[in-house]
Structure 1
Amino acid sequence: MIILEVVNNRFSSTDQRLIGFATRMCPNVDVLAINCNVVRIMVLKRINNVLIFACKRPINVLSDYHRLSLIVSGLLLKYDIVLVDNNSNLHHILCCSDTAINRCVISNTHDVIDHNVFTTVLHDGKLLKYISFKHSAPWLISIRLFYPTLLFDNKKPDGQPSLTSRVQIINFNTDNRLKLLIYSRKTTGPFGSELPKLTETDIVIAGRSSFGTSENFKKWLLPLALKLDAAIETTRGAVELGCTPSELQIGGNYQVISPKLYITFGISGSDQHLPSIEIC
């Protein structure tokens, strides 16, 4: 399955390239299309089934990411491989969904070499790394395509696609709101002065830019951190987006932590992030 998003009533040039990439691994490709209608989906070629959300308003991938992640996590187990564009916001949706099914995401995937042998790019494409999945399907992959993918012309002489896609509608209810537990413990500052320091705590909770805003970051992580008496840390992307202050970043500022328990939300891992973590 490939997860795509229609922006300004159009698919990007990368979307069809992702389908071409997917058909190299599997002949049957389904698409989960966000903010798409039945007419627009027909511009895509070489797909079997299409899943479309029924919603009263356009879905905001950043603000609606939690409900999207819940729906996506329920669909993942039906597929062997799930692909997204590494440079899109859908990458964060996939990273949030993987925790619900106890899977991991391979990011910056550049090519498929063989069955369960993939290459990822490091340091802006200067280095390639071979990676394989040890766990069973579904395999979750975030694709970063540098070069055009060669596609075959699958049209009939009359110009119509040779394959008619079957469309399934998924209800996306925007009226429901999730309720969080509210703790009476008072805090000050962006994440509370009562929280322990990163370098002095046994428990660390980590989040990334997929939370979207500082309010969401605090809303979801602070209650758990207060309950466990844990510190909060984040990645460079979340700092650049304004979700967290820079003093909570590890990796880029060479701050090294060594907790006994490390809990992450939406972090797929990277060579810059993992060396800064020494699990006791």
Structure 2
Amino acid sequence: MAVLVIADHDNSTLKDNTHKTVTAATKLSGDIDVLVAGQNAKAVADAAARIAGVRKVLLAESPELGEGLAEAFEALVAPLMANYDAVLTPATSQGKNFSPRIAAKLDVAQISDVVEVVDASTFVRPIYAGNALETVQSSDAKKVITVRPTVFKAAAEGGSASVETIPAAAAPAKTHFVDQQLVKSARPELSGAKIVVSGGRAMGSAEEFQRVIDPLADKLGAAVGASRAAVDAGYAPNDYQVGQTGKVVAPELYIAIGISGAIQHLAGMKDSKVIVAINKDGDAPIFQVADYGLVADYKTAVPELMDALSQAGK
């Protein structure tokens, strides 16, 4: 079985999600190639070649691929699938954008958000906001799979795969990249951070959210997250949202402040290694998944935590 993994990168750095997707691909028991599609991404291809278990790296470059246009990815990947039995990509916003187009082009059913590979045709995926797991079996000749990277260990380094440059497809006729606005921050990226501090609707305002959550995150070197309720209320931007319709995270430490623990939110963070919850409602659902829970008002608990961290840092 030949498997193609589409690398997750920013045209300069290979993201850890790629290593984790390669781990999922190894469960399919076949030769694994990695596709690096972007622009000026030779360094990314060289990094992908060092992943253990990778046979070959394919490098395709064009402005459209560098801009992440789904149409450009579909036009590139669909013809390549003549040589592969399965294509895997991390279930990131970009992966979720172009994978359905590839599946439609190949006339197969996409297998989404896989958390376990049983064999070459059987997969496990969460349903009902992560409250149940569904085992699906596909008889399609070609498999188009998105992988939840947070549940797989990263593949080791030490590989020495060759890098082969392939031509990119022609530019899409009807789709053009216009602009993007990136939020720059010194904090770690939310989806890959080892520590995440999240705030909920109890913050009451954007100013209070920033006053409470940001200093604690900076103290811990953590990323900032938020519940959907906090985002919908305008306390935090959309890219902070953790949950079923936001980002799925699995950090070493997840601190939930003023978050009740709705099913939608738990689906995005319950795989965290250690969960700490601070909420004045002792019956809040977040305490059912928390490793450590403090029933207290965050207005008292967070300053005390900041003081304790300051004392520990002396």
Shorter-chain TM band? 0.5 to 0.7
Flag the 1:171–1:71 CA change in 2: closer, same or farther, 3 A: closer
Flag the 1:87–1:124 CA change in 2: closer, same or farther, 3 A: farther
Flag the 1:57–1:107 CA change in 2: closer, same or farther, 3 A: closer
Letter in 2 for 1:168: T
After superposition, residues 181-260 of structure 1 pair within 5 angstroms as none
Q: 1:178 aligns with which of 154, 173, 179?
A: 173
Conserved in 2, the CA contact under 8 Å of 1:29 and 1:47?
yes
Flag the 1:107–1:148 CA change in 2: closer, same or farther, 3 A: closer
Distance between the aligned counterparts of 1:58 and 1:68, measured in 2?
Answer: 7
Mapped pair 1:42 → 2:49: yes
The range that moved more, 2-11 or 17-26, is 2-11
Tell me the CA shift for residue 55 of structure 1.
2.6
Letter in 1 for 2:52: K
Distance between the aligned counterparts of 1:34 and 1:41, measured in 2?
Answer: 12
RMSD: 3.1
Q: 1:22 aligns with which of 25, 44, 58?
A: 25
Give a deviation string over 1:196-229, Cα, whole Å, max 9, x none: xxxxxxxxxxxxxxx999xxxxxxxxxxxxxxxx
Distance between the aligned counterparts of 2:157 and 2:61, measured in 1?
Answer: 29
After superposition, residues 84-95 of structure 1 pair within 5 angstroms as 84-95=89-100
Letter in 1 for 2:98: I
Q: 2:146 aligns with which of 121, 142, 149?
A: 142
Which residue of structure 2 lines up, in the alignment, with residue 96 of structure 1? 101
Letter in 2 for 1:54: E
Structure 2: runs of 5+ lacking an equivalent: 179-231, 233-244, 246-314
Which residue of structure 1 lines up, in the alignment, with residue 7 of structure 2? 4
Distance between the aligned counterparts of 1:27 and 1:129, measured in 2?
Answer: 24
Tell me the CA shift for residue 75 of structure 1.
1.3
Conserved in 2, the CA contact under 8 Å of 1:77 and 1:138?
no
Tell me the secondary structure at the aligned position of residue 170 of structure 1.
coil
Which residue of structure 1 lines up, in the alignment, with residue 116 of structure 2? 111
Tell me the CA shift for residue 140 of structure 1.
0.9
Give a deviation string over 1:152-179, Cα, whole Å, max 9, x none: x574xxxxx3x33242322355xx5526
Flag the 1:52–1:109 CA change in 2: closer, same or farther, 3 A: same
Letter in 2 for 1:28: D
Aligned pair count reads: 173
Structure 1: runs of 5+ lacking an equivalent: 156-160, 181-210, 214-239, 241-251, 253-280
Conserved in 2, the CA contact under 8 Å of 1:49 and 1:166?
yes
Give a deviation string over 1:101-121, Cα, whole Å, max 9, x none: 211111111101234111011
Letter in 2 for 1:142: T
Which residue of structure 1 lines up, in the alignment, with residue 130 of structure 2? 125
Conserved in 1, the CA contact under 8 Å of 2:46 and 2:163?
no
Tell me the CA shift for residue 8 of structure 1.
5.5
Q: RCO higher in 1 or 2 (8 Å CA, sep ≥ 6)? A: 1
Q: 1:13 aligns with which of 11, 16, 20?
A: 16
Tell me the CA shift for residue 71 of structure 1.
1.7
After superposition, residues 150-169 of structure 1 pair within 5 angstroms as 151=155, 155=158, 161=159, 163-169=160-166
Flag the 1:91–1:26 CA change in 2: closer, same or farther, 3 A: farther
Flag the 1:177–1:105 CA change in 2: closer, same or farther, 3 A: closer
Flag the 1:118–1:179 CA change in 2: closer, same or farther, 3 A: closer
